[in-house]
Structure 1
Amino acid sequence: MKELIEDLLDGARQIGASDLHFIPDANQVKVQVRSASKLAALQSMDVELYDRLTLHMRYWCSLPESNQRIPQSGVYELNQDVIRVTFLPSFAQTSMSWRIPHDTFELQHLLRSHDVERFQKVVASHHGLFFIGGSTGAGKTTVLYALLNQLKHERIVTIENPPEQMVDGVIQLEVNAKAGLSHRHLLKETLRADPDIIVIGEVRTDEELMVAYDAALSGHLTITTFHTASIQDGEKRLTQLLGMATVERHWCVLTRNQEVTCEWSTFR
Structure 2
Amino acid sequence: MKPESLSEHIIHDAIKHGATDIHFSPEEVEVPTYFRINGYRWFYKRLILKEYQTLLSYYKFSSGMDIAENRIPQDGTLTFSNQRDSYHLRLSTLPLSLTESLAIRVLPNYQTPNLKDLFLFPNQSETLLKWITNQSGILLFTGPTGSGKSSTMFALMKEAIKRYGYQTISLEDPIERSVDQILQVQVNEKAGFSYDIGLKAALRHDPDIITVGEIRDESTAHFAFRAALTGHLVLTTIHAKNAHGTIERLLEMGLTQTELHQVLLGIASQELVPLTKTIQRKNGQGRAAIAELLEGQDLTRAINGFPPENSHRFITFQHLRRKAYAYGYTINPEKTTINTID
Report if TM-score (shorter chain) is over 0.5: yes
One-letter amino acid of the counterpart of residue 49, structure 1: E
Read off the aligned partner of 2:215 and give its amino acid letter.
V
Matched, 1:128 2:134: no
* SS of aligned partner of 1:242: coil
Aligned residues: 268
Shift of 1:16: 3.7
2: CA distance, partners of 1:161 / 1:250: 24
* Partner in structure 2 of residue 62 of structure 1: 64
Q: CA deviation at 1:191?
A: 2.3
Q: What is the 5 A alignment of 1:226-237?
A: 226-237=238-249
Shift of 1:117: 0.9
Q: What residue number does 2:88 align with?
A: 82
Q: Does 1:109 align with 2:117?
A: yes
Candidates 243, 250, 254, aligned match of 2:256: 243
Give, in whole Å, the separation in 1 of the partners of 2:52 and 2:226: 43
Bigger radius of gyration among the two: 2
Asked if 1:99 is matched to 2:105, the reply is yes
1:125 counterpart SS class: coil
CA offsets 1:71-119 (integer angstroms, 9 cap, x no match): 2112101222211111121333211111111343222111132122112
Aligned-residue Cα RMSD (Å) equals 2.0
* Aligned pair partner of 1:170 in 169, 174, 182: 182
Extract unaligned runs of 5+ from structure 2. 275-287, 301-342
| Aligned twin of 1:23 | 25
Counterparts of 2:68 and 2:53, CA distance in 1: 16
Bigger RCO of structures 1 and 2 (CA < 8 A, at least 6 apart): 1
Q: Give the 3 Å change call, closer, same or farther, for CA 70–123 of structure 1 in structure 2.
A: same
In the TM superposition, residue 3 of structure 1 has moved relative to its aligned partner by: 4.1
Letter in 2 for 1:106: N
* Higher strand residue share: 1
Question: Residue 224 of structure 2: SS of its match in structure 1?
Answer: helix
1: distance between equivalents of 2:212 and 2:178? 15
Cα deviation 1:137-159 (Å, max 9, x = unaligned): 21112222323333433211111
Farther-moved stretch of structure 1 (89-98 vs 229-238): 89-98
Q: TM-score, normalising length from structure 1? A: 0.91
> Residue 327 of structure 2 corresponds to which residue in structure 1?
none
**SS of the counterpart of 2:46?**
strand
Are the aligned partners of 1:12 and 1:42 in contact in 2 as well (CA < 8 Å)? Answer: no
CA 1:19–1:144: 2 relative to 1, 3 Å:
farther
8 Å CA contact 2:4, 2:58 repeated in 1: no
- CA drift at 1:233: 1.0
Give CA-to-partner distance per residue, 1:161-185, whole Å, 9 cap, x none: 2111101221111222221122233
Identity of aligned residues (%): 28
Q: Please list every run of 5 or more consecutive structure 1 residues that lacks an aligned counterpart in the other structure.
A: none
**Which amino acid in structure 1 is aligned with residue 293 of structure 2?**
W
Letter in 2 for 1:68: N
Quote how far apart the aligned CAs of 1:130 are: 0.9
Give 1:227 deviation, angstroms. Answer: 0.8
